[in-house]
Amino acid sequence: MKNKNDVEQEMKCPYCGEMNEISANTCKKCGRILNTDVKPTINNKRLVPLFIVVAVFTVVIGGTFFMKSNTNNNSQLVTKVDEEESAGTVDESDISVDTEETAEVADVEESTDTEELAQEDITPEATVVSDSTVYTSKHIWEQAGTLYTVDPVWSEGFYCVSGNYTDTMVLYNGYVYLRSGASPSAIIRMNLDGSDQQVIASDASANKKICIYEGYLYYTSFGDTGTGKRINLETGAAEEMGPYIFRAGNDEVWVYTNMKENKWYISEPCYKNIRETKEITGNLLGINGQNIFYMYKENNNDYVTCRYNAAEDSTYVIAESPYKSIMAENGLYFKSVDAGNTVLHRMDVEDGTVTQYDLGYFNVYMSGGFSEVGNRTFFVQFVAEDEENNEQLWVFDREDSSMHMVGSWYNPNAISAATES
């Protein structure tokens, strides 16, 4: 039996009711954060760049996560193209092909007076950008020190554009281009402060990315198969680009799918020289230069993460793990779990450097959306048992190792989204 002094040294977990030591950062039963200033440990590990390794095999943890190279593994791959892109569900890879889009649209309550006042404290500043880059839609953008998001987050330093986590947006040349609502969805151009809203398209698919390149906005129209379209942002003229759904792209290579034929395609930017590829299968994670990253599920239920180089027409297996991988900007993330302890691995896709972050008993959902802004990584957590705010947005600072929640909201799909399989 515990005495009075023992009781005073414990605290109750607000989520599961388990008693924990007063100094504990996370609950020993459910793994939830008890101290929002918890600082995971970092272990930096410089590896030989993965992209020049020919036959290196690196075991990371307990044999459940490893990196290797392979020149051809496609004869055993089963093509699976997910139709919907999800920020809180796994296809956008459920992740379908991205980590930002969500399959269903939920009703979002209007902001309170307090939230509106918080937004008024932020004075947006427009920065004109060059259009030589492909600006692809995502949930969080940084502009002049302010974080713009479609998520219902009103924390200090954030500017909530729509408050609907199923939306997505692009910040380009001083404007917000917002794709909102259920299909058929509207694409709205507005100033950074939300003023002067103009609908520039009303037939977009709500579950597909948009991008801006060389003065054109590219999107997928709503329909059974999906048709690629683009809008001249100067004249407003629209034109069809073919039966292709834009998935990812940069100034070197673009990736598409054709939902009707269940095929993958690659091309030069702007749909030029489109050709079918059988080297990609499963779920698209992201792209860097000529390197296209994707993930598929093996017969043993492990997830295999690969890199396909479009210029060399070569495929390399990067990792196999019982958990999904996810990509944000230049970071490719994996996790490994040992006796409830989670280690998050981030591979820099530019140089192959892998950094390990020991998160203790904090379980990161690899099915949620990840975003990178500078040295900060934003990720979604699901709390299925919370009937009011079952989806949370957390931020992890990769420099000082601090981690805290910045917002929460209700997602009717949280239970299915929280599934790791």
Phi–psi pair at 32, nearest 5 degrees:
-70, 155
> What percent of the chain has a predicted confidence (pLDDT) above 70?
69
Tokens 């399989």 sit on residue = 421
- Spatial distance between the Cα atoms of 199 and 112, rounded to a whole number of angstroms: 26
Identify the pLDDT of residue 246.
95
Rg of the chain's alpha carbons, rounded to an integer? Answer: 22
| Greater pLDDT, 292 or 43 | 292
Identify the pLDDT of residue 25.
53
Token output for 357: 């972050």
Helices (runs of H) and strands (runs of E) counted in the chain: 3, 33
- Spatial distance between the Cα atoms of 208 and 103, rounded to a whole number of angstroms: 9
Identify the pLDDT of residue 386.
86
Q: Considering the domain 36-417, what is its CATH architecture?
A: 7 Propeller (2.130)
Identify the pLDDT of residue 170.
97
CATH 2.130.10 domain range(s) in the chain: 36-417
| Greater pLDDT, 15 or 147 | 147
Q: What is the sign of the dihedral through the CA atoms of 369, 298, 421 and 90?
A: positive
Identify the pLDDT of residue 144.
94
Identify the pLDDT of residue 119.
43
This prediction has a pTM of 0.74
Q: What is the mean pLDDT of the chain?
A: 77
End-to-end CA distance of the chain: 41
The stretch 15-35 carries a mean pLDDT of 58
pLDDT in tens, 345-394: 999 999 999 999 999 999 899 877 899 999 999 999 998 888 889 999 99
Asked which of 63-67, 75-79, 186-190 is least confident by mean pLDDT, the reply is 75-79
Q: Could you tell me which of 356, 353, 358, 361 has the C-alpha nearest to residue 345? A: 356
pLDDT at 78 over 60: no
| Greater pLDDT, 318 or 64 | 318
Q: Are 320 and 65 in contact (CB under 8 A)?
A: yes
